[in-house]
Structure 1
C-alpha cells in the first residue's frame, strides 16, 4: 500500500514536472518567435514606412494645437475662407477659424474614438470568442448562432439605430455604437484561435493536472493569441475611424464647436466648389491614417506568421 502511494506520488510529480517543462518551453518559444517577428517587421520597408506615417499622424494631432498660434474656435469673419498660406497652412473656414488647428483637434477626437472603440471591440470580441471556442459543444453552437444572426444586420444602420436609442451623440455614445456594430469578426477569429490552441500538449497537460478553466484560458490560451490581437487592433482601427467619419458626415457626429475629421468634411461639403481644400484636407487625413494602419497590420501579419520564418 505504501509502495502504491509512493508510485502515485512520483507519477504526480513527474506529470507536474512535464507540464511545467512544457509551459517553460512554450514561453521560450514565444520569446524566440517575438524576436524573429520584430526582425521580419523591420525588414519590411512598407510596414516600417507605414508605422512611421502612423506615428507622424498621431504626433501631428497631439502637438499641433500646442505649437500653432491659430485659433480653432475664435470667430473672425474678416479671415473667412482664406486659402492655404504661410499664416494659415490649411486655410480657414467660413468663420475664419484656422483649419490646421481644427484638423489636429478633429484628429484627436477621431483617433481617440477609434482607439477607445477598438479597445472595447477587442475586449468584447476576445471574451465572447474565447468563451465560445473554449466551452465547445452546445454553448459554442448557441453563441455562434447568435453571432450569425448579428452578422445579418448592416453595419452602419446598426450603429445609427444604437445612437437613436441613446438619443444623444457624444464621445461615449459614439464609442458604444461603433463597438456594438463592429465586434463580430473579432469574436469569430478569436474562437478559431482558441479551438486550435486548446489542442496543444501544454494545454492538455494543464487540464490533466486539474487546472481550473479560467487559469487555462487566461494563462495558457489567450497569451498565445497576442499576435492576432495586435494585428486586429490595426485592422479594426481604420474601420472604426471611417465609420465615425461617415456618421459625422451625415450629421450624427460630435456637436459643434468641437469637431472630428468627419464633421470637418461635412463642413467643407457645402463649400466644395469654391473652397475644395476644406473637404480635401480632412479626407486626406482620414486616408493617411487608414492606409498607414492597414499597411502596419499587413506587416504585422507577415512578421507574426510562422510560415514566413526563415529556414
Structure 2
C-alpha cells in the first residue's frame, strides 16, 4: 500500500487538484494572509468624523469661538465697558466698517455691541465647558458606581437621582441662584451642575451595566484584577462613548441656560460681560433698535448650534447602527 504522506502532485497539476494534505502544507508554508491593523471604536469614530462635513463645520466654528474667548483683544481693540452716551447712544450699525467698534452699532449705554459680543464669548464658553465638566464627573462617577456594584448602592444612587430628576431644572437653578448675592461665573456653574448631573448618571449607569457583562470583564475578574483596575481599564473605556455624546450636546443647553438666567436677572450681571446680560438690557429697545438684541442673540444661537452639530456628529460616529 503506497505511503500517501510522501505523495507529491504531478507536474502540471494545480494546487486545487493536489491532495488535501498537500494543499494544507502549502498554505502553512505561505503563512497567514496579510491583514490590515484592526481599528478600535475610537479609530472607527475618528474615521467617520473625518468624512462628515457637519463635523468640520462645527469644529471650525468652535475653534474660532475658543480663540475669541481666549484672546478677545486680538479681535477688537474697543473696551466693552466703555460707554459714551453723547456720541453713541443707540447708534445704528456701520456695515461698511468691518471688525471695527461701530460694526454692530452701540447699545443704550453707548457701549460697542461688537466689543461686548466678542468679550461675552468668554463667560458663555466658561459656563458651558465648566458645567459640562462638573456634571460629567459627578454624574459619571455616580452612574459608574451604581451600574457596576448594583444592589443597595444602585438603589440609593438611583433613588437620589430620581429625586433630583423630578425637580424642574430651570426653576431649581433660579432658586439656587437666589441664595447668592454675588453671582460670578463659578456660582452659575455650581448652580447648573447641582441639578444637571442626573441625565449623565442615568446614561453612564446603563452603559456600565452592559459593559460589565462582557467577556473581557469576566476574564479580568477571573484573573484576579482589582475593582479599580477593572473599572478604569476595562469598563470605563468601553462605556464612556454615550456619556461623551450626551455631554457634548448638553454643553450648548448649558450656555442657553446661563443666558436665560442672565436675562431673568438671576445669572451673571454687570460688570461681567455676557450675551445674556446684553439680551436682557436690550429688551426695552427691541422695537426701535432691534440690532441691540440681534447680534448677541445671534452669537448665542450660533454657539449653541455649533455644539449641537458636534454632538450629533459624534453620536453618529460612535453608534455603528447609524453609519
TM-score, normalised via structure 2 length: 0.82
Partner of 2:120: 106
Look up the match of 1:116. Answer: 130
1:62·1:104 contact (CA, 8 Å) conserved in 2? no
**Residues 236, 148 of structure 1: alpha-carbon distance in 2 compared, 3 angstrom cutoff:** same
Q: Which of 73-82 and 239-248 deviates more? A: 73-82
**Distance of 1:232 and 1:308 partners within structure 2:** 16
Superimposed CA distance per residue, residues 246-272 of structure 1 (whole angstroms, 9 cap, x where no aligned partner): 000000122312221110100111111
| Equivalent of 1:169 in 168, 179, 183 | 183
Distance 2:164 2:240 in 1: 26
Secondary structure of 1:92's aligned partner: coil
Larger radius of gyration: 2
Q: Quickly say closer, same or farther: Cα 1:301–1:108, change in 2 above 3 A.
A: same
Equivalents in 2 of 1:131, 1:290: separation in Å?
31
1:204 to 205, 218, 231: 218
- Identify, as 1 or 2, the structure richer in helix: 1
Does the Cα contact within 8 Å between 1:234 and 1:293 map onto a contact in 2? Answer: yes
**Residues 103 and 194 of structure 1: CA distance in aligned 2, closer, same or farther (over 3 Å):** same
- The aligned counterpart of 1:144 is 158
RCO (CA 8 Å, sep 6+): is it higher in 1 or 2?
Answer: 1
Structure 2 Cα separation of the partners of residues 181 and 166 of structure 1: 16
What is residue 80 of structure 2 aligned with on the other side? 72
Q: Which residue of 2 aligns with 1:83?
A: 92
- How far apart in 1 are the matches of 2:226 and 2:106? 61
Q: Report what 1:285 is aligned to.
A: 299
Supply the distance in 1 between the matched residues of 2:245 and 2:60 (Cα, whole angstroms): 17
TM-score between both structures, scaled by the size of structure 1 = 0.85
Give distance in 1, aligned partners of 2:69 and 2:93: 18
In the alignment, does 2:42 pair up with 1:34?
Answer: yes
Contact 1:134–1:195 (CA under 8 A) maintained in structure 2: yes
Answer yes or no: is the 8 Å Cα contact 2:278–2:296 preserved in 1: yes
> Offset at 1:241?
0.4
CA contact (8 A) 1:72 1:101 kept: yes
Distance 2:305 2:268 in 1: 24
Residue 252 of structure 1 is aligned with which of 243, 266, 275? 266
1:159 aligns with 2:173: yes
Separation in 1 of the partners of 2:243 and 2:118?
A: 28
Per mean C-alpha deviation after superposition, the further-off stretch among 287-296 and 78-87 is: 78-87
Structure 2's unaligned 5+ residue stretches are 1-36
- Misfit runs of 4+, over 6 Å: none
Does residue 63 of structure 2 align to residue 55 of structure 1?
yes
Query: Quick one: distance in 1 between partners of 2:56 and 2:288?
Result: 38
What is aligned with 2:256?
Answer: 242
Q: How many residues align?
A: 281
1:139-184 deviations in Å (ceiling 9; x for gaps): 2122112211211110011111212233431111111000012110
Q: How far did 1:131 drift?
A: 0.5
Q: Distance in 2 between matches of 1:67 and 1:104?
A: 7
Runs of 5+ in structure 1 lacking a partner?
1-27
Whole-angstrom distance in 1 between the partners of 2:59 and 2:76: 25
